[in-house]
Copies of this chain bind each other. A is one copy, B any other.
Amino acid sequence: MVAKPQTPSIRMVAERAGVSVATVSNVLNGKTSVSPDFAERVTRAVRELGYVVDIGASRLRSGKAALVGVVVPDLANSMFASFVSTLEHAARQGGFDIVVVSARNDPAEEADRLSNIRSWRPAGLIVIPCDGALAERLPEGHAIPTVVADRIPDIAGFDLVAVDNGPAAGKIARHLGETGARTGLVVGTSLSISNVRERWEGVLAAGGSCAFEMLEVGFDAPDHLAPLAERLVGAARPDALFALDHTTSLALYRLVGELGLRIPQDIAYASFDEMEWMRLVAPPLTAVRQPVEAMAEEAWTLLSKRMAGDHGASITRRLTCAVEMRGSTGPREASRRSEAA
C-alpha cells in the first residue's frame, strides 16, 4: 500500500519548515513580521508541498469570505454571460471568486437558488432577478450585501444598477415615426419584467407620429409567435416592428424572414439589445446597445463598497444606452449586401 497522496495542510507545512502553524499563517498572510530565515523556510515548504490555503477553513476562523454569489436569469443568454464574464474578472482583481447560479427564468428556481447560495456564506451577492417579485424570495433578515442589476425589484434597500430603458426606447420610437412609420408593433417577453415595462413606457411617452401597440410573447418565443404571424400578413400589418429584448428579437427577425417581408421596404425593424449578428445581416439592424460590461463593473464597484462596510443609503445608477440607427429602419436604401445579391 503506497502512501495515499493527501492535500497538504498548514500543519504539514509547519512541520516541514520546522516552525509553528502560526508562523506559517503569518508568512502567508503577511500580518505579523517574520524573520527572513523563517519566512524563507516556510516559502520553500509551501512550494515543495504545493500547498494552497483552505479558503473555507480560513473564512470559518477569520470571518472574511472571499466568495460572492451571482444569480442570473439565464446563463445561456449571451447578455448575461457577458455580464458574468466581466464580473468574474472584476471579482478576481479584488481577490474574490464567484459562485454562479442560473434561475432559468423560473421564479421558483430563483427562490431555491437564492436560499441555497446562502449556504456558502458569501461576502456579497449580485442578482439579476428573473422578475419583479424579488422580495418574497429573500429571507426575512437578509443581511448579505446585495446589488441588484438590470431589473428593478419590488424591494428597496439594495443598490441598483440598470440602464435608461425608457429614454433609449423613446429614441427608437421617435426615429420610427420620423422615418415614416404610422403604426408600430412592439414585441417583448413580458411586462412583468421591469426593463421591458420601462421600454414600453418609454415608447408611449415618446410621442411622435407613430401609434404603437404592445404584444407579450413570453420566454419561449418561437412557440408563441404564431398569433403574431397573422398580424404581420393581414391588411392591418404595422409599418414597423420593435423587439424589446434579444430573445424576442431573434425569433421575431426569423419570423419576418420566413414570411418573406422585406426590411425596411415592407416593414421597418428595430431591436432593444444589440448582438453581433445585427450588424452582419442585410440591411443591418437599428438597435439599442446596452452597456453590459459597464453595468457589471458598476455593480462590482457598488458591492465592493458595501462589503467594505459602507452602510450609507442605497444607491441607484442608470447607465446610458447607445442607440444605433441603421438600414433596417430606412431611409429606403438597400444595403450593400442586398444590392449585390
A7 touches B (CB below 8 Å): yes
A94 touches B (CB below 8 Å): no
Cα separation A279 to B117 with both chains bound (whole Å): 38
B89 close to A85 (CB less than 8 A): no
Binding-face segment, A13-21, A46-54, A189-197, A228-236? A46-54
- Which residues from B are CB-within-8-Å of A85? 74-76, 81, 102
A40-71 contacts to B, CB under 8 A, are 50, 52-57, 59-60, 67
A141 close to B277 (CB less than 8 A): no
A282 close to B282 (CB less than 8 A): yes
A65-111 contacts to B, CB under 8 A, are 67, 74-76, 78, 81-82, 84-86, 88-89, 92, 97-102, 104
B140 close to A50 (CB less than 8 A): yes
A100 close to B116 (CB less than 8 A): no
Cα separation A78 to B78 with both chains bound (whole Å): 6
Give the number of chain A interface residues (Cβ < 8 Å).
64
- The number of times this chain is found in the oligomer is 2
Distance in Å: Cβ of A15 to nearest Cβ of chain B: 18
Given known pairs A120-B97, A121-B56, the reply for A257 and B81 (CB within 8 Å) is no
B92 close to A81 (CB less than 8 A): no
Partner of A117, one of B86, B97, B337: B97
* Nearest-neighbor residue (CB-CB) of A57 within chain B: B60
A275 touches B (CB below 8 Å): yes
Cα separation A82 to B81 with both chains bound (whole Å): 9
Given known pairs A74-B85, A85-B76, A280-B277, the reply for A54 and B121 (CB within 8 Å) is yes
Cα separation A60 to B257 with both chains bound (whole Å): 57
A338 touches B (CB below 8 Å): yes
A75-B88, A250-B276 known; 18 new pairs, CB 8 Å cut-off, are: A7-B121, A50-B139, A52-B116, A54-B119, A55-B119, A56-B56, A74-B85, A75-B85, A76-B86, A78-B78, A88-B101, A99-B99, A100-B100, A257-B280, A280-B281, A281-B281, A282-B338, A338-B338
